[in-house]
Amino acid sequence: MEKAKCLTIAERGIRTSRDVKELLASLVSDLLAGRVTIKIFDSLCNAIGKLLTLVELEQRFGTASTGGDRVLTLIGQLVRRAEAMKKKADTPGRRKESGPKQSQGQRRRGASAPRHANNGAAELRGGE
């Protein structure tokens, strides 16, 4: 089997959207020419899709680095968020919630406990 053209592009590295377009175009032509199998084609398309998803996440949620690129730090952000939540919960003088949480409507009505279907039925029957 002849060497696939997409291999040459992949060996150079995929750094820009132009590289991705060139790789995909050569991959399609390699598939049609019989230089790659459908399994390799599918695997490369899935990998490129994941790479593009990562780039999108970096742009949306990443922070600017010294080189100007955006960097997405997944674990560090989760750890910092958990530490902040723990610190907030451990703050002295903070009232801890107890009992079931009330809905906004219950707070407006002044209800102390959630209304249940059977409570409403008891009121209709005369307050059993």
Model pTM score: 0.51
| Spatial separation of the C-alpha atoms in residues 57 and 63, rounded to whole Å | 11
The pLDDT assigned to 124 comes to 47
The pLDDT assigned to 45 comes to 93
The pLDDT assigned to 26 comes to 95
Domain map (residue ranges) of the chain: 5-87
Q: Which residues of the chain are modeled with pLDDT < 50?
A: 116-117, 119-124, 128
